[in-house]
């Protein structure tokens, strides 16, 4: 799957977002080494702390299906003028499984840029920090 295809797949998830409070839909698509892709959207809750982001939805779906340390690229998209950057909680959760993950972030024009998770969360805390 190309980067463009992964970004466009993430955009298809915007319509599935449940965002009655922020009205800010986010879509994600997580590519594994074997070519499997897990998608996600944000799901809000009136108890705001119970809200889950699109990135974590895709990650949890992947982990629940047996994928662990085989994540290659994540696309995160939104309908905003700026790029749709992952929040701190998502960065930390992703770091647990893939500190070297490639992250593609897109804006409403479907333009995207690439960063690594290490760039987005320098000196991150992960399983190796538990030793």
Instruction: Say whether 32 sits in a helix, a strand or coil.
Output: strand
Q: Tokens standing for 50?
A: 């119970």
108 catalytic per annotation: no
Residue 74 CB partners (closer than 8 Å, separation 6+): 28, 29, 30, 31, 55, 58, 86, 94, 101, 102, 103, 104
d(CA 68, CA 50): 24
Please pick, among 5, 8, 44, 55, the residue that the annotation labels catalytic.
Answer: 55
Q: Give catalytic residues, as residue numbers.
A: 55
């Amino acid at each position: 799957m190309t980067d463009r295809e992964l970004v466009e797949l993430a955009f298809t998830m915007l319509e599935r977002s449940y965002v009655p409070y922020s009205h800010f839909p986010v879509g994600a698509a997580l590519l594994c080494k074997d070519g499997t892709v897990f998608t996600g959207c944000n799901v809000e809750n009136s108890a705001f702390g119970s809200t889950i982001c699109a990135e974590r939805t895709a990650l949890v779906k992947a982990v629940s299906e047996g994928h662990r340390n085989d994540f290659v690229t994540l696309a995160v998209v939104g309908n905003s003028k700026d790029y749709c950057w992952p929040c701190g909680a998502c960065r930390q959760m992703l770091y647990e499984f893939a500190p070297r993950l490639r992250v593609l972030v897109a804006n409403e024009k479907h333009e995207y840029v690439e960063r690594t998770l290490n760039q987005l969360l320098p000196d991150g805390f992960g399983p190796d920090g538990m030793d």
